[in-house]
Structure 1
Protein backbone atom coordinates (compact mmCIF):
# COMPACT_ATOMS: atom_id res chain seq x y z
CA UNK A 1 0.00 0.00 0.00
CA UNK A 2 2.80 2.40 0.85
CA UNK A 3 4.25 1.86 -2.64
CA UNK A 4 0.93 2.97 -4.14
CA UNK A 5 0.99 6.01 -1.91
CA UNK A 6 4.54 6.76 -3.03
CA UNK A 7 3.41 6.60 -6.62
CA UNK A 8 0.95 9.37 -6.02
CA UNK A 9 2.87 11.63 -3.68
CA UNK A 10 2.38 15.30 -4.43
CA UNK A 11 3.60 18.44 -2.87
CA UNK A 12 0.75 20.75 -1.91
CA UNK A 13 0.46 24.24 -0.58
CA UNK A 14 -1.77 24.65 2.45
CA UNK A 15 -3.88 27.54 3.63
CA UNK A 16 -1.14 28.78 5.98
CA UNK A 17 1.34 29.24 3.16
CA UNK A 18 3.32 32.45 3.17
CA UNK A 19 2.09 33.83 6.48
CA UNK A 20 5.37 33.62 8.33
CA UNK A 21 7.76 36.56 8.57
CA UNK A 22 10.90 34.47 9.18
CA UNK A 23 12.55 32.46 6.45
CA UNK A 24 11.07 29.13 7.50
CA UNK A 25 9.36 26.40 5.48
CA UNK A 26 7.13 24.05 7.47
CA UNK A 27 7.01 20.77 5.55
CA UNK A 28 4.63 17.92 6.45
CA UNK A 29 5.71 14.74 4.68
CA UNK A 30 5.76 10.96 4.88
CA UNK A 31 8.29 9.45 7.27
CA UNK A 32 11.70 8.91 5.67
CA UNK A 33 10.71 10.44 2.30
CA UNK A 34 13.26 13.24 2.33
CA UNK A 35 16.87 12.68 3.40
CA UNK A 36 18.28 15.20 5.86
CA UNK A 37 21.00 16.00 3.31
CA UNK A 38 18.34 17.36 0.91
CA UNK A 39 16.85 19.56 3.62
CA UNK A 40 20.31 20.81 4.62
CA UNK A 41 21.21 21.60 1.01
CA UNK A 42 17.93 23.48 0.53
CA UNK A 43 18.70 25.61 3.59
CA UNK A 44 22.27 26.18 2.42
CA UNK A 45 21.17 27.27 -1.06
CA UNK A 46 18.17 29.40 -0.06
CA UNK A 47 18.78 30.49 3.53
CA UNK A 48 15.33 29.10 4.37
CA UNK A 49 15.20 26.81 7.38
CA UNK A 50 13.04 23.69 6.95
CA UNK A 51 10.99 22.41 9.85
CA UNK A 52 10.25 18.83 8.82
CA UNK A 53 7.32 17.03 10.44
CA UNK A 54 6.30 13.51 9.43
CA UNK A 55 3.22 11.31 9.40
CA UNK A 56 2.69 7.63 8.59
CA UNK A 57 -0.66 7.63 6.77
CA UNK A 58 -2.94 9.89 4.76
CA UNK A 59 -5.49 9.51 7.52
CA UNK A 60 -3.03 10.91 10.08
CA UNK A 61 -2.19 13.82 7.77
CA UNK A 62 -5.86 14.55 7.14
CA UNK A 63 -6.85 14.37 10.81
CA UNK A 64 -4.10 16.76 11.85
CA UNK A 65 -4.89 19.27 9.11
CA UNK A 66 -8.62 19.16 9.91
CA UNK A 67 -7.84 20.09 13.52
CA UNK A 68 -5.75 23.12 12.58
CA UNK A 69 -7.17 26.57 12.18
CA UNK A 70 -5.94 29.41 9.97
CA UNK A 71 -2.72 29.54 11.96
CA UNK A 72 -1.70 26.22 10.40
CA UNK A 73 2.00 25.65 10.86
CA UNK A 74 2.37 23.86 7.51
CA UNK A 75 3.36 25.52 4.27
CA UNK A 76 3.66 22.29 2.29
CA UNK A 77 2.27 18.79 2.70
CA UNK A 78 2.65 15.60 0.67
CA UNK A 79 -0.52 13.48 0.60
CA UNK A 80 -1.29 10.78 -1.94
CA UNK A 81 -3.21 11.69 -5.08
CA UNK A 82 -6.51 10.29 -3.88
CA UNK A 83 -6.51 12.73 -0.96
CA UNK A 84 -6.02 15.85 -3.09
CA UNK A 85 -9.66 16.08 -4.25
CA UNK A 86 -10.99 15.44 -0.75
CA UNK A 87 -8.72 18.04 0.83
CA UNK A 88 -9.45 20.59 -1.92
CA UNK A 89 -13.23 20.19 -1.52
CA UNK A 90 -12.90 20.70 2.23
CA UNK A 91 -10.87 23.88 1.92
CA UNK A 92 -7.65 22.42 3.27
CA UNK A 93 -5.61 23.53 0.26
CA UNK A 94 -4.82 26.93 -1.18
CA UNK A 95 -4.40 27.51 -4.92
CA UNK A 96 -0.80 27.50 -6.15
CA UNK A 97 0.61 30.61 -7.80
CA UNK A 98 2.39 28.95 -10.72
CA UNK A 99 4.16 32.21 -11.61
CA UNK A 100 6.33 31.76 -8.50
CA UNK A 101 7.47 28.26 -9.46
CA UNK A 102 10.39 27.41 -11.70
CA UNK A 103 10.87 24.18 -13.64
CA UNK A 104 7.22 23.26 -14.13
CA UNK A 105 7.97 22.74 -17.81
CA UNK A 106 10.38 19.96 -16.84
CA UNK A 107 7.74 17.76 -15.18
CA UNK A 108 6.69 14.64 -17.09
CA UNK A 109 3.49 15.64 -18.90
CA UNK A 110 1.84 12.32 -18.05
CA UNK A 111 1.90 13.34 -14.37
CA UNK A 112 0.24 16.75 -14.70
CA UNK A 113 -3.36 17.88 -15.21
CA UNK A 114 -4.84 14.76 -13.65
CA UNK A 115 -8.56 14.31 -12.89
CA UNK A 116 -8.03 14.79 -9.14
CA UNK A 117 -6.59 18.30 -9.77
CA UNK A 118 -7.24 19.69 -13.27
CA UNK A 119 -4.68 22.32 -14.20
CA UNK A 120 -2.67 21.49 -11.10
CA UNK A 121 -4.37 24.34 -9.29
CA UNK A 122 -3.69 22.75 -5.87
CA UNK A 123 -0.93 20.20 -6.41
CA UNK A 124 2.37 19.70 -8.20
CA UNK A 125 3.87 16.25 -8.88
CA UNK A 126 6.67 15.60 -6.43
CA UNK A 127 7.60 11.96 -6.70
CA UNK A 128 6.43 8.90 -8.56
CA UNK A 129 7.48 5.30 -8.41
CA UNK A 130 6.59 1.75 -7.64
CA UNK A 131 7.61 -0.61 -4.91
CA UNK A 132 8.25 -4.26 -5.58
CA UNK A 133 7.81 -6.90 -2.91
CA UNK A 134 9.69 -10.16 -3.18
CA UNK A 135 8.35 -13.12 -1.26
Structure 2
Protein backbone atom coordinates (compact mmCIF):
# COMPACT_ATOMS: atom_id res chain seq x y z
CA UNK A 1 0.00 0.00 0.00
CA UNK A 2 2.85 2.36 0.82
CA UNK A 3 4.50 1.77 -2.56
CA UNK A 4 1.21 2.41 -4.33
CA UNK A 5 0.83 5.75 -2.55
CA UNK A 6 4.39 6.74 -3.35
CA UNK A 7 3.99 5.91 -7.02
CA UNK A 8 0.73 7.87 -7.26
CA UNK A 9 2.26 10.76 -5.35
CA UNK A 10 5.31 10.96 -7.59
CA UNK A 11 3.12 10.72 -10.69
CA UNK A 12 1.09 13.66 -9.45
CA UNK A 13 4.23 15.62 -8.67
CA UNK A 14 5.33 15.32 -12.29
CA UNK A 15 2.14 16.98 -13.54
CA UNK A 16 2.27 19.91 -11.16
CA UNK A 17 3.12 23.37 -12.38
CA UNK A 18 6.62 24.52 -11.54
CA UNK A 19 6.96 27.16 -8.89
CA UNK A 20 7.53 30.71 -9.97
CA UNK A 21 11.12 31.60 -10.50
CA UNK A 22 12.18 28.09 -11.56
CA UNK A 23 12.97 27.13 -15.12
CA UNK A 24 12.04 23.46 -14.90
CA UNK A 25 9.28 22.46 -17.28
CA UNK A 26 7.93 19.05 -18.13
CA UNK A 27 8.50 18.09 -21.74
CA UNK A 28 6.14 15.84 -23.70
CA UNK A 29 8.71 13.04 -23.74
CA UNK A 30 8.87 13.08 -19.93
CA UNK A 31 5.07 12.87 -19.77
CA UNK A 32 5.00 9.81 -22.01
CA UNK A 33 7.63 8.09 -19.81
CA UNK A 34 5.69 8.77 -16.62
CA UNK A 35 4.41 5.67 -14.81
CA UNK A 36 0.66 5.19 -14.91
CA UNK A 37 -1.33 6.52 -11.96
CA UNK A 38 -2.70 4.08 -9.43
CA UNK A 39 -6.26 2.88 -10.02
CA UNK A 40 -8.79 5.18 -8.42
CA UNK A 41 -6.40 8.16 -8.39
CA UNK A 42 -7.30 11.11 -10.55
CA UNK A 43 -4.80 13.42 -12.05
CA UNK A 44 -4.94 16.92 -10.59
CA UNK A 45 -7.22 19.30 -12.40
CA UNK A 46 -9.48 16.65 -13.85
CA UNK A 47 -13.03 17.23 -12.59
CA UNK A 48 -12.23 20.56 -10.99
CA UNK A 49 -13.90 22.41 -13.87
CA UNK A 50 -17.02 20.33 -13.49
CA UNK A 51 -17.45 21.15 -9.81
CA UNK A 52 -16.60 24.80 -10.46
CA UNK A 53 -19.34 24.96 -13.07
CA UNK A 54 -21.77 23.22 -10.74
CA UNK A 55 -20.99 25.74 -7.99
CA UNK A 56 -21.34 28.68 -10.41
CA UNK A 57 -24.64 27.29 -11.66
CA UNK A 58 -25.94 26.90 -8.12
CA UNK A 59 -24.90 30.46 -7.28
CA UNK A 60 -26.57 31.75 -10.47
CA UNK A 61 -29.81 29.92 -9.65
CA UNK A 62 -29.70 31.25 -6.09
CA UNK A 63 -29.15 34.81 -7.29
CA UNK A 64 -31.95 34.55 -9.84
CA UNK A 65 -34.31 33.22 -7.18
CA UNK A 66 -33.35 36.00 -4.80
CA UNK A 67 -33.85 38.61 -7.53
CA UNK A 68 -37.29 37.21 -8.37
CA UNK A 69 -38.33 37.16 -4.74
CA UNK A 70 -37.16 40.75 -4.21
CA UNK A 71 -38.99 41.86 -7.36
CA UNK A 72 -42.19 40.21 -6.13
CA UNK A 73 -41.86 41.85 -2.71
CA UNK A 74 -41.30 45.25 -4.31
CA UNK A 75 -44.29 44.77 -6.60
CA UNK A 76 -46.51 43.85 -3.63
CA UNK A 77 -45.25 46.89 -1.68
CA UNK A 78 -46.00 49.18 -4.62
CA UNK A 79 -49.52 47.75 -4.97
CA UNK A 80 -50.19 48.20 -1.24
CA UNK A 81 -48.80 51.74 -1.39
CA UNK A 82 -51.08 52.59 -4.33
CA UNK A 83 -54.12 51.16 -2.52
CA UNK A 84 -53.28 53.14 0.61
CA UNK A 85 -52.89 56.34 -1.42
CA UNK A 86 -56.29 55.79 -3.04
CA UNK A 87 -57.95 55.25 0.33
CA UNK A 88 -56.30 58.36 1.79
CA UNK A 89 -57.43 60.40 -1.22
CA UNK A 90 -61.01 59.18 -0.84
CA UNK A 91 -60.97 59.95 2.89
CA UNK A 92 -59.67 63.49 2.25
CA UNK A 93 -62.40 64.07 -0.30
CA UNK A 94 -65.00 62.81 2.17
CA UNK A 95 -63.73 65.17 4.85
CA UNK A 96 -63.81 68.06 2.38
CA UNK A 97 -67.39 67.19 1.45
CA UNK A 98 -68.35 67.29 5.13
CA UNK A 99 -66.60 70.61 5.69
CA UNK A 100 -68.07 72.22 2.57
CA UNK A 101 -71.69 71.61 3.57
CA UNK A 102 -73.44 74.94 3.39
CA UNK A 103 -76.99 76.21 3.45
CA UNK A 104 -76.63 78.06 0.12
CA UNK A 105 -76.28 74.93 -2.05
CA UNK A 106 -77.43 72.21 0.33
CA UNK A 107 -78.71 69.82 -2.31
CA UNK A 108 -75.43 69.73 -4.31
CA UNK A 109 -73.28 69.49 -1.17
CA UNK A 110 -75.45 66.70 0.24
CA UNK A 111 -75.31 64.83 -3.09
CA UNK A 112 -71.47 65.02 -3.02
CA UNK A 113 -71.50 63.72 0.56
CA UNK A 114 -73.75 60.78 -0.33
CA UNK A 115 -71.65 60.01 -3.41
CA UNK A 116 -68.49 59.61 -1.27
CA UNK A 117 -70.05 57.07 1.12
CA UNK A 118 -70.79 53.35 0.86
CA UNK A 119 -72.67 50.64 2.70
CA UNK A 120 -75.11 51.28 5.56
CA UNK A 121 -74.11 54.95 5.90
CA UNK A 122 -75.01 55.58 2.26
CA UNK A 123 -78.40 53.88 2.73
CA UNK A 124 -79.08 55.97 5.83
CA UNK A 125 -78.10 59.24 4.10
CA UNK A 126 -80.27 58.49 1.03
CA UNK A 127 -83.28 57.83 3.30
CA UNK A 128 -82.70 61.14 5.09
CA UNK A 129 -82.13 63.14 1.88
CA UNK A 130 -85.73 64.42 1.75
CA UNK A 131 -85.65 65.78 5.30
CA UNK A 132 -82.23 67.44 4.93
CA UNK A 133 -82.92 69.40 1.74
Q: Higher helix share goes to which structure?
A: 2
Q: Higher strand share goes to which structure?
A: 1
Higher relative contact order (CA 8 A, sep 6+): 1
> TM-score, normalized by length of structure 2?
0.19
Which structure has the bigger radius of gyration?
2
> TM-score, normalized by length of structure 1?
0.18
